[in-house]
């Protein structure tokens, strides 16, 4: 697909982004901008493609989601000729993002200052496990999402009595880092367009994880008292607050918190309101109080006698925060997900099936984002990209012959929806 054939859309149309990163954090950062209309070029090493490629069912789908709306180029950046191509590309680029061990580009002779010599107005985003500066022995450490969760406190929060600490299974350290990277890139770009002076954004994965934590972290830091470890915050204290098993074996989350909500819950459960045990105007009661014990018993009985969908409907109708614990299949079939088009479908360039994936978020009314392409093979757009940056056919062929650029078809299973 030629650049002239790519649809123009979204608030970032006209912004050119180059990213060189593997796994999740870096590609997710760039993909957020691609969904908003930026022209995003994904650079991989032709000798060692992204580890998400050819990784079976789960990793293969990561390419479809976190590399959609991108053009792919396989370029050996640290090689002598690859470096020349890379710097020529960055001279006409707005934002460059990379994800590697701290200081990797410095070790390649491609420091921020060197990149700014090619383009003084370039925004550079570095995503690494431990940052670009700090204690040297940490900066150069390798990291993946569970390492960031361990170092950044999330596994500490998730530790339960009698169990080994465990990470969230959904790569939240990668995703949080990607969000911060995109925010930092666009904030820097806004300023660069006023000053003309480039900026470098330093994202440490563990800091992104730490920043996602709130009241428990603040309480321990400021009082010195270790946090209490619970699978559901406040559920160990507040009556009528938690995930309750229902008659169909599913769970519904109900949160009895706030004066108006508290009163509505008492009405739904048929409990006396305005008594010594359950005083009027209460925002919450605790488990160890007489009223709290009444609420806990009544809530458990109420939920156990009804399917989760009915519990959700009754409490939501009474203006009480409540939700069925939804599976991905439940989400796909839910009318609200459908009405908001939370999921979208697009053809896969790699599998013999369409892709069902989250739609563009956030939703913009006047300049909405768009999904125009799935993930593609490594180096799929080499020639098109190089022509964009002024390389002619003979130069492109020479780069191919020298192994500076390459192409590799994904060795991934042909999947169909079940």
CA dihedral 97, 99, 102, 104 (to 10 degrees): -80
Average pLDDT over residues 372-388: 93
Tens of pLDDT, residue by residue over 274-331, are: 999 999 999 999 988 999 999 999 999 999 999 999 999 999 999 999 999 999 999 9
Residue labelled with tokens 């507040």? 238
The reported pLDDT for the residue numbered 54 is 64
C-alpha angle with apex 417: 414 to 418, nearest 5 degrees?
120
Nearest of 76, 83, 82, 70 to residue 118 by alpha carbon: 83
Alpha-helix residue ranges (DSSP H) falling in 270-334:
290-304, 308-317, 328-333
Distances (CA, A) of 399 to 200, 350, 386: 30, 26, 10
The reported pLDDT for the residue numbered 409 is 82
0.85 surpassed by pTM: yes
Candidate list 76, 94, 174, 377, residue with the active-site label: 174
SS3 for 130? Answer: coil
Tens of pLDDT, residue by residue over 123-154, are: 999 999 999 999 999 998 989 889 999 999 98
CA-CA distance, 30 to 70, in Å (whole number)? Answer: 9
Contact in structure between 265 and 248 (CB atoms under 8 Å): no
Task: Express as a percent the part of the chain with pLDDT over 70.
Answer: 94
**174 catalytic residue (yes or no):** yes
CA-CA distance, 51 to 286, in Å (whole number)? Answer: 49
SS3 for 105? Answer: helix
The reported pLDDT for the residue numbered 415 is 42
SS3 for 178? Answer: helix
The reported pLDDT for the residue numbered 414 is 47
Q: Decide if pLDDT at 412 tops 60.
A: no
The reported pLDDT for the residue numbered 417 is 33
Which residues are registered as beta bridge partners of 180?
none
Contact in structure between 235 and 163 (CB atoms under 8 Å): no
Tens of pLDDT, residue by residue over 60-99, are: 677 888 899 999 999 999 999 999 999 999 999 999 999 9
Q: Which of 162-166, 178-182, 239-243 has the lowest mean pLDDT?
A: 162-166
Distances (CA, A) of 382 to 19, 31, 80, 300, 398: 14, 19, 18, 60, 13
The phi and psi torsions of 223 (rounded to 5 degrees) equal: -115, -20
**Averaged confidence pLDDT in the chain:** 91
């Amino acid at each position: 697909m030629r650049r002239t054939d790519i649809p123009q859309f979204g608030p970032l149309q006209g912004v050119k982004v180059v990213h060189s990163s593997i796994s999740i954090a870096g590609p997710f950062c760039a993909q957020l901008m691609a969904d908003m209309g930026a022209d995003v070029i994904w650079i991989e090493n032709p000798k060692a493609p992204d580890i998400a490629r050819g990784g079976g069912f789960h990793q293969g789908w990561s390419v479809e989601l976190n590399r959609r709306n991108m053009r792919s180029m396989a370029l050996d950046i640290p090689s002598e000729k690859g470096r020349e191509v890379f710097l020529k590309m960055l001279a006409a680029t707005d934002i460059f993002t990379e994800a590697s061990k701290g200081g990797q580009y410095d070790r390649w002779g491609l420091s921020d200052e060197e990149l700014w010599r090619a383009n003084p107005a370039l925004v550079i985003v570095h995503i690494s496990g431990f940052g670009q500066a700090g204690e040297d022995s940490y900066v150069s450490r390798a990291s993946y999402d569970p390492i960031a969760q361990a170092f950044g406190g999330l596994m500490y929060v998730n530790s339960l009595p009698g169990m080994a600490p465990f990470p969230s299974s959904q790569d939240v350290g990668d995703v949080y880092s990607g969000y911060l990277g995109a925010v930092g890139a666009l904030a820097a770009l806004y300023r660069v367009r006023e000053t003309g002076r480039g900026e470098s954004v330093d994202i440490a994965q563990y800091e992104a994880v730490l920043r996602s934590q709130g009241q428990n972290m603040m309480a321990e830091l400021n009082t010195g008292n270790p946090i209490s470890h619970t699978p559901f915050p406040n559920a160990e204290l507040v009556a009528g607050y938690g995930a309750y098993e229902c008659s169909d074996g599913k769970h519904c989350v109900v949160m009895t918190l706030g004066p108006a909500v508290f009163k509505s819950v008492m009405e739904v459960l048929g409990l006396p309101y305005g008594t010594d045990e359950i005083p009027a105007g209460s925002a919450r009661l605790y488990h160890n109080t007489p009223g709290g014990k009444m609420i806990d018993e009544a809530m458990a009985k109420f939920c156990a006698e009804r399917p989760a969908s009915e519990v959700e409907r009754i409490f939501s109708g009474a203006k009480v925060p409540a939700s069925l614990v939804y599976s991905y299949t439940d989400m796909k079939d839910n009318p609200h997900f459908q009405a908001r088009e939370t999921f979208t479908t697009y053809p896969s360039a790699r599998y013999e099936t369409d892709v069902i994936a989250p739609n563009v978020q956030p939703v913009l009314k006047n300049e909405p984002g768009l999904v125009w392409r799935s993930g593609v093979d490594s180096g799929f757009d080499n020639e098109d990209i190089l022509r964009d940056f002024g390389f002619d056919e003979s130069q492109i062929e020479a780069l191919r012959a020298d192994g500076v650029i390459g192409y590799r078809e994904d060795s991934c299973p042909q999947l169909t929806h079940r």
